[in-house]
Amino acid sequence: MARSCLAIILAAGESTRMNASRSKVLFPVGNLPMISHVISAAKAAGVGSVALVVGRDAEAVEAASRDVTDNLSVWEQKERLGTAHAALTAAQAIEEGYDDILVIFGDTPLVRSETLMQSRQMLADGADVAVIGFRTDKPHGYGRLIEENGELVAIREERDATDEERKIEFCNGGLMAINGHKALEMLRAIGNENAKLEYYLTDIVGIARDKGGRAVAVEASNRELIGINNRAELAEVEQLWQWDRRVDMMKSGVTMVAPETVFVSHDTMIEADVTIEPNVIIGPGVTIRSGAVIKGFSHLEGTTIGSDCTVGPFARLRPGADLQSGSKVGNFCEVKNATVGEGAKVNHLTYIGDASIGAKSNIGAGTITCNYDGVNKHFTQIGTEVFVGSNSSLVAPVAIGDHSYIASGSVITRDVPSQALAFGRARQENKEGVAEKIRARNHAIKADSGKPKK
């Protein structure tokens, strides 16, 4: 759309019903602050500039918003005098001149860019105001959208509606598009002659019509207009958002054995022919390539999983984990800031941190890269086709050459050359007959422990 557009994002509420130490618009949905979801939808609808109206936690709300847009101005609403008053807080931004103005609440993270685009199209077709509404068979408490001959003539609050008007199931969603060239004039004409002495944005419909303009309604799904006021509603929105993402992924070729138990993030990238078993949590920054299998109860974040890899069950991949094609990280293993080379295996009860494992190497059960000395992290380099025996400790910094062999139970503190066999353990000694004496002693101690003390 060639028309210019400003989005005014209202995010100045006190969030009292969240009972939280931060603004509600900072709470995440899909591991992204809800304010960021709203701004992303606005950008996808062709918004060029964002005017952010803030109150509580202004700096943090601004920072979260700047993560998704650069063209941002911030306006503080010092008094809470209604939605129209909040929109007018950004009057200077409106004065810069835009064809379209979108007014959006910062706590509606499910709003779709297609709906915002539709409201803008109504302005392009000649309307001065386009109110976004939804239909419900339980309209009690919502403002009703009163239409005549295809135009919106009023938004009637529940307490002011007639019996017939209360039967209307088309309700106000709060979001709207306004003719940018008339927006200031109409907003400034809104009065506060009501019980709360507040300036209500909904009054703009009557004002537009009084000035000879047209107002229309745009219908959206009720789910995308859900506003979050408490943590129960936050959980509801998270559930809806997660299900939408799962469905999109499954339609694109991802298999989810029990999709309701899989949780993804806003930036999760999963290619076709990936299989995800039950109870998998995918945090931010995860890419999974085709053919990979993520087994149950695994937790992934900040990681890249190559094609045909196998992860889990009960695996944890932390930021910086890079699994190359055909590699495997098995049950009860943890990988952090490390590359697992093509075809390499880290199968059981193992920690790999700050390391690189070469192609086709095998890391035995219970192996640990000892990367932390209490102050600094150190790197472990493991070459190609290395066999590391079970219960080995690799004390970084250390390098293990290609095709080498680490004996089980070793503590490796020095570099190992290629093709070498490394032992790092004490020599075994067998004491004949001593086991019987130790067993008798232990039984005596146990029997003595049960006697009363004198």
Q: What is the pTM of this model?
A: 0.90
Work out the percent of the chain whose per-residue pLDDT is above 70.
99
Query: pLDDT of 91-116, one tens digit each?
Result: 999 999 999 999 999 999 999 999 99
Least confident of 93-102, 148-157, 178-187, 427-436: 427-436
> Taking residues 160-180, what's their average pLDDT?
93
- Give 57's strand partners: 55
Q: Flag whether pLDDT at 260 surpasses 90.
A: yes
> Taking residues 197-204, what's their average pLDDT?
92
Pick from 45, 41, 19, 21: nearest CA to 29: 41
Indicate the fold that domain 231-422 takes in CATH: UDP N-Acetylglucosamine Acyltransferase; domain 1 (2.160.10)
Domain ranges of the chain: 5-225, 231-422
The active-site residue out of 181, 299, 348, 403 is: 348
pLDDT band at residue 435 using 50, 70 and 90 as cut-offs: confident
Cβ 402 vs Cβ 384: under 8 Å = yes
Q: Flag whether pLDDT at 451 surpasses 80.
A: no
255 is in an annotated binding site: no
The set of residues, in sequence order, having a beta carbon less than 8 Å from that of 213 and lying 6+ positions away, is 127, 128, 129, 179, 182
Query: pLDDT of 213-257, one tens digit each?
Result: 999 999 999 999 999 999 999 999 999 999 999 999 999 999 999
422 is in an annotated binding site: no
Q: What number of other Cβ atoms are within 10 A of residue 151's Cβ?
A: 14
Q: Flag whether pLDDT at 453 surpasses 70.
A: no
Supply the CATH classification number for the domain 5-225: 3.90.550.10
Mean of the per-residue pLDDT values for the chain? 95
261 is in an annotated binding site: no
Does residue 181 have an active-site annotation? no
> Taking residues 393-403, what's their average pLDDT?
97
pLDDT of amino acid 275:
98
351 is in an annotated binding site: yes
Work out the percent of the chain whose per-residue pLDDT is above 90.
86
